[in-house]
């Protein structure tokens, strides 16, 4: 699932999403966006952390500038991944946007407590969903200044 684009000007985005249809949808919407980017997808928490830490097959993986994290993941779930990232001095400066189906206040509160940088409930309906992802791109990839890759 690695789509390595060696263009250094591309913004590296890690999408942690266990659902391929959702990952595909997000990827399609983002690819259709104006900012050139390289979207890498991790299907579970372990893979996400290995990627971020450049472990195993991800030795030469690029450091992403933004992590889009689903909370409900098989195995090590999104909350653990978020905690690991925010507890890792090398990784914690990477903005993490939680994108999940759960609108439960406790989940929202908990995510921010773990230093999540944004919390987006996946909207129902394709249009709303597309709009939400486009808004995400607009803000994080255009308006916001991301930490540069080391």
Site string for other proteins, 15-44 (x = CB under 8 A): ----x-xx--x-------------------
What is residue 7's three-state secondary structure? coil
Q: Which is nearer to other proteins, 86 or 122 (CB)?
A: 122
Q: Are strands 37-42 and 11-16 parallel, antiparallel or unpaired?
A: parallel
- Antiparallel, parallel or unpaired: β 96-100 and 118-121: parallel
Binding residue count for other proteins, defined by CB under 8 A: 14
Pick 31 or 90: Cβ nearer other proteins: 31
Least CB distance from residue 131 to other proteins, whole Å?
A: 13
Can residue 108 be called a binding residue for other proteins (CB under 8 A)? no
- Pattern of binders to other proteins over 62-81, x per CB under 8 A? ----------x---------
Q: For residue 16, give Cα distances in angstroms to 23, 143.
A: 8, 23
DSSP code of 116? Answer: -
Where are the extended beta strands (E) located within the chain?
11-16, 37-42, 66-69, 96-100, 118-121
Tell me how far, at minimum, the Cβ of 126 lies from other proteins, in Å.
Answer: 4
Compare residues 126 and 144 and give the one whose CB is closer to other proteins: 126
* Residue 15 backbone dihedrals phi, psi, to 5 degrees: -105, 115
Output the smallest distance, CB 3 to other proteins, in A: 21
Give yes or no for a contact between 120 and 98, defined as CB atoms under 8 angstroms apart: yes
Q: What are the residues binding other proteins (CB under 8 A)? A: 19, 21-22, 25, 72, 101-102, 104, 122, 124-127, 129
């Amino acid at each position: 699932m690695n789509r390595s684009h060696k263009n250094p000007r591309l913004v590296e985005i890690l999408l942690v999403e266990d659902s391929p249809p959702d990952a595909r949808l997000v990827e399609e919407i983002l690819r259709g966006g104006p900012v050139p980017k390289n979207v890498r997808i991790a299907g579970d928490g372990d893979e996400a952390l290995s990627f971020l830490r450049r472990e195993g097959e991800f030795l030469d993986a690029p450091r992403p500038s933004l992590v889009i994290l689903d909370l409900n993941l098989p195995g090590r779930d999104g909350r653990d991944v978020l905690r690991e990232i925010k507890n890792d001095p090398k990784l914690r400066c990477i903005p993490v946007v939680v994108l999940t189906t759960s609108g439960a206040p406790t989940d929202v509160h908990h995510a921010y407590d773990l230093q999540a940088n944004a919390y987006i409930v996946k909207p129902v309906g394709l249009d709303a969903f597309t709009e939400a992802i486009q808004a995400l791109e607009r803000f994080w990839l255009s308006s916001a200044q991301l930490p540069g890759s080391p």
